[in-house]
Structure 1
Amino acid sequence: MIWWTDLPSRARAERQAIAELAEEADWLQSAKWRLTDDLQFVADFDIVHLGASYPLSLTYPHFFPAVPPQVTPRDGARISGHQYGAGGELCLEYRPDNWEPQFTGAMMIGSAYRLLSGESPSDGEVADVASAHRQTVAQEVRNTKLRLILNTALLDILVEQPLLQAQPFTLDEHWFAKHWLAHPRRLGSPDAPPIWAAAPPLTEPRTREGFAVRLPDETNVPFEGSYAFLNTILTTLNFAPALERMTASDAEMPLLLVHRGTARLYSLAQGTGSRDVYVYRTIVAPANEQRLSAEHGVLADRSVAIVGCGSVGSKIAATLTRAGVGTLVLVDGDLLLPGNLVRNELDWRAVGLNKPDALAARLRDINPSTKTIVRRLLLGGQESSASTDSALQQIGQCDLIIDATADAQIFNLCGAVACAERKPLIWAEVFAGGIGGMIARSRPDLDPPPYAARRQILRWCDDNGIPWTGGDGEQYSLQIDAEKPPLIADDADVSVIAAHAGRMAIDLLKGGATTLPNSAYAIGMAREWIFAAPFDTYPIDLVPEGQWGPDADENARDELGGLLREFFPKAEEAADEG
């Protein structure tokens, strides 16, 4: 976009406004216009103040007047405390956050003069000009590669520590996205209860041991670390453990210095003698930033079995982990292969791993507090009976069972366990072609048992379905044949269904009154099959049918007695003789 070809009248008005300002103000001199190679309008000018001349350029951006022009020194100098580095843009009264299209380049030049004259009110005098510009933490750290993430609870403890009394300090660090990120783990002697400690947030950290010390406010603490500075601090403290590591060891040593209510991490590099010191930028994070409702607190005591760690199951598992579910039992007998990556929670790092192992590692990165139990087992496949029975027992001990396989045989096994153990079951399926999917739940004594609920849903599909003409119609029913080609659906399709299933699971795990009036829903994402439009949703009514609980004979007690007499006749004879 070249704004001045579309708005030549505005371009002429900009030139006229600057010409008029030059006539009125003796501090504005030598205004000249030019075009850059990429056709940007630029006004070069000088601001004269107290005998000093500041050569500046006013550059109109391509999207002017929607965004403001930039004022920069032509000689690449650092001329103001309100400047983005040497040669950088001046931070003026008019910025992208308060700019309005009716503002002009002449107003920017006037603001530049007020800034420079305000910082030098008279010969030899330097003054601060108040800034209305506030940077976010993200803006402040975006060019720093070394970062310490410090929560407010630890910072409050650090600023209350006795002056000049060093404490052992442990941090975990990892290299991620071309940055070193450090997380404090412990403050205090390892031989005594910690002053402060936190659960390890990383699965494979680089753990480092150092020291933390609070310095007096009058101490001059430079931002750029140096060996001489750290040596002076430790010598003043006469802190033998740190001095010994600094002079007699070639190991790295982190030193957390607390000063004037802030904390900064200095890291002494490996080596001997005078050597490099790296300074980390501190990011203060809220100690317990609550972004989940108080009702989610109960999820820490809940356990969920997820059968199927593929595209749907992996996404549901991630959702429940972020929600704070305490324990997840992950059951799958498959490997993650490159073709799975188009719609799975996992990435290339996991290719070749068993899906439940890879998913467990991913979930630990999301929430280290969530416990994961891995079962590399293909339910219904050629597995030992003992392994299958053990897995089914473990599944039945969970508070909720989720079938994310879209496999009829596995559904029957999960349903049988849910019914026998009186545990709720949720299942989710994505229809081929990305046209939609289905989620359903079966709750003990509130919904029909799983086998009956599924039969009712199949009957609903038969009653309401429209024959599919674009391919194999059976792929669009709830009967998924494992021998057929994989269903065609992308990550967005899968994510929609998995998100709804996750919502249903959290609703159930929290307990109390449900927010979902129906226990089954068909959710459309295209105008196909039964769906009249994208996001067309059909609630499905389930009616009472069948009984929850294990199958049992009506006269089970008498039948059991007869069975025992048949198997152990001698035991009965011995009882009679006794």
Structure 2
Amino acid sequence: MTPRDGARISGHQYGAGGELCLEYRPDNWEPQFTGAMMIGSAYRLLSGESPSDGEVADVASAHRQTVAQEVRNTKLRLILNTTLLDILVEQPLLQAQPFTLDEHWFAKHWLAHPRRLGSPDAPPIWAAAPPLTEPRTREGFAIRLPDETNVPFEGSYAFLNTILTALNFAPALERMTASDAEMPLLLVHRGTARLYSLAQGTGSRAVYVYRTIVAPANEQRLSAEHGVLADQCVAIVGCGSVGSKIAATLTRAGVGTLVLVDGDLLLPGNLVRNELDWRAVGLNKPDALAARLDDINPSTKTIVRRLLLGGQESSASTDSALQQIGQCDLIIDATADAQIFNLCGSVACAERKPLIWAEVFAGGIGGMIARSRPDLDPPPYAARRQILRWCDDNGIPWTGGDGEQYSLQIDAEKPPLIADDADVSVIAAHAGRMAIDLLKGGATTFPNSAYAIGMAREWIFAAPFDTYPIDLVPEGQWGPDADENARDELGGLLREFFPKAEEAADEG
């Protein structure tokens, strides 16, 4: 049932000119629903809303819509949690309270988030941590109105002026007369809150009305064991495809601090499988990733080190970065670079800190994740040797294509790794789970400390999801220079990185 002239004739209608929401709903194509029944239902609806000339009444609705359905056509939205709403409905009547909100323009919508209720010169009645990184902060007032007040849905200058004049609230009345910024007014009425925003300018002017979305406060979607992550610090070495996704996972899980180490830039080609997007192209990866993580969880602190570990950097910068990495509760090597692994492994072993590393195999046929925990697993060097030995012992030649995994050096002779976002995401997700499991402490979910994970019928993998646990056996000691080969390996590594220094020493 629709009006011929395209008018809005009922509050129970899908927009101007739209269908009437009748007792039989839109599912009226069923044979038992006749045209006469539809006409009768429409008559009952319209006569119920207009029982006599000039009289308007509400007709109870049995139509239950989700919040998403109710707001889908609104461009101005206020996100209000239940804790603040409970406080607002208990405020004294007709007493204006200073009110601060943050707002941003996103996906062609204005989204407003309350920040503070109460005078800036006194402890707040309510306050929240800033949820946005670059908001438009606006100052206004919150007022609780008596239930008998008639509050129109469409705001108007005259209505707001009447409210503020009755209150005789000078600060707001001055801004009603003239203001060089929008003035938000949060009106609380009959248990609900609605945001009106008076445009900047002078005299009578536009008023914008926001649709309120009430969000549950502190809705728990993570286990209680995740609470310990807020006190943990994790170093992520390599902010490329795998590292960026692991960082996002740990940020969502509530890790308190992330040290992001990478010397590379984000280029357009990286976007096929990185957590970042076009807005970050041209930035150093750690800076771009830090901004992304701040958008996910502002409570997570990020420390950025724009450093090419193993590259041509000052020894002081490299030493400072390695010391900072060694102070973290967990080190994650997401570079798939043997030289960087050696540096991370040396720090982990010397500082007795756990190390997790991951890599995606060329062609996206699978990948590997592994961990090395002090006194529970062999030190990183020994663990890596055992994993390489396990690969050799399988006796199946490598069939994948060539490809530089995640090298920070651009080598024109080596093609980039061929793998898509889905391939990388699988390995990064497994590595993220292993990291969270380790940070939470207690009994581990993972019976093995290394896994080869298949995503295609290639090499040793019989099919996608074919997984090989790799047994690591005790070997070597944790602590400074505990690995019998560590000193020689590190010495060779330093000679490779700084050959000129060795030549100068020989000449001396």
TM normalised by structure 1 equals 0.79
8 Å CA contact retained: 1:256, 1:265: yes
- The answer for the alignment partner of 1:235 in structure 2 is 165
Change (3 A) 1:233 1:476: closer
8 Å CA contact retained: 1:430, 1:438: yes
- Secondary structure in structure 1 of the residue aligned to 2:342: helix
Gaps of 5+ in 2: none
Superposed displacement of residue 223, structure 1: 1.1
- Secondary structure in structure 2 of the residue aligned to 1:475: coil
Change (3 A) 1:243 1:352: same
Give me the whole-angstrom Cα distance separating, in 1, the residues matched to 2:50 and 2:40. Answer: 16
Superposed displacement of residue 80, structure 1: 3.4
Change (3 A) 1:471 1:107: farther
Change (3 A) 1:416 1:97: farther
- Secondary structure in structure 2 of the residue aligned to 1:72: coil
1:81-160 equivalences under 5 Å are: 81-95=11-25, 112=42, 115=45, 128-160=58-90
Give me the whole-angstrom Cα distance separating, in 2, the residues matched to 1:406 and 1:571. Answer: 27
8 Å CA contact retained: 1:465, 1:529: no
Change (3 A) 1:335 1:104: farther
Superposed displacement of residue 121, structure 1: 7.8
Superposed displacement of residue 475, structure 1: 7.7
Give me the whole-angstrom Cα distance separating, in 1, the residues matched to 2:381 and 2:63. Answer: 63
Change (3 A) 1:478 1:196: closer
Superposed displacement of residue 497, structure 1: 0.5
Change (3 A) 1:106 1:279: same
Alpha-carbon deviations, 1:465-523, whole Å to 9, x = none?
Answer: 52244644998999999962111000010001000100000000011100111111111
8 Å CA contact retained: 1:465, 1:530: no
Give me the whole-angstrom Cα distance separating, in 2, the residues matched to 1:537 and 1:554. Answer: 32
Give me the whole-angstrom Cα distance separating, in 1, the residues matched to 2:404 and 2:493. Answer: 45
Alpha-carbon deviations, 1:78-98, whole Å to 9, x = none?
Answer: 343321122101223444799
Change (3 A) 1:114 1:558: closer
Q: CA RMSD in A?
A: 6.5
Change (3 A) 1:94 1:516: farther
1:278-357 equivalences under 5 Å are: 278-357=208-287
Bigger relative contact order, structure 1 or 2, given CA contacts below 8 A and separation 6+? 2
Give me the whole-angstrom Cα distance separating, in 2, the residues matched to 1:564 and 1:497. Answer: 31
Change (3 A) 1:319 1:576: closer
2:361 counterpart (426, 431, 447): 431
Alpha-carbon deviations, 1:326-381, whole Å to 9, x = none?
Answer: 00000000000000000000000000000000000000000000000000001011
Q: Work out the percentage of aligned pairs sharing the same amino acid.
A: 98
Decide which structure has the larger Cα Rg and report it.
1
8 Å CA contact retained: 1:427, 1:440: yes
Superposed displacement of residue 198, structure 1: 0.6
Which has the larger displacement, 318-327 or 126-135?
Answer: 126-135
Superposed displacement of residue 534, structure 1: 1.0
Which has the larger displacement, 316-325 or 471-480?
Answer: 471-480
8 Å CA contact retained: 2:232, 2:439: yes
8 Å CA contact retained: 1:461, 1:477: no
Alpha-carbon deviations, 1:238-277, whole Å to 9, x = none?
Answer: 1111111222433221111111111111111011111111
8 Å CA contact retained: 2:178, 2:200: no
8 Å CA contact retained: 1:468, 1:476: no
- Secondary structure in structure 2 of the residue aligned to 1:169: strand
Superposed displacement of residue 452, structure 1: 0.6
8 Å CA contact retained: 1:209, 1:254: yes
- Secondary structure in structure 1 of the residue aligned to 2:391: helix
- The answer for the alignment partner of 2:376 in structure 1 is 446
Change (3 A) 1:288 1:541: same
TM normalised by structure 2 equals 0.90
Give me the whole-angstrom Cα distance separating, in 1, the residues matched to 2:264 and 2:487. Answer: 43
8 Å CA contact retained: 1:407, 1:481: no
8 Å CA contact retained: 1:408, 1:479: no
8 Å CA contact retained: 1:432, 1:476: no
Superposed displacement of residue 124, structure 1: 9.2
Change (3 A) 1:550 1:100: farther
Change (3 A) 1:88 1:464: same
Which has the larger displacement, 477-486 or 496-505?
Answer: 477-486
8 Å CA contact retained: 2:404, 2:417: no
8 Å CA contact retained: 2:103, 2:110: yes
Change (3 A) 1:326 1:562: closer
- Secondary structure in structure 2 of the residue aligned to 1:266: strand
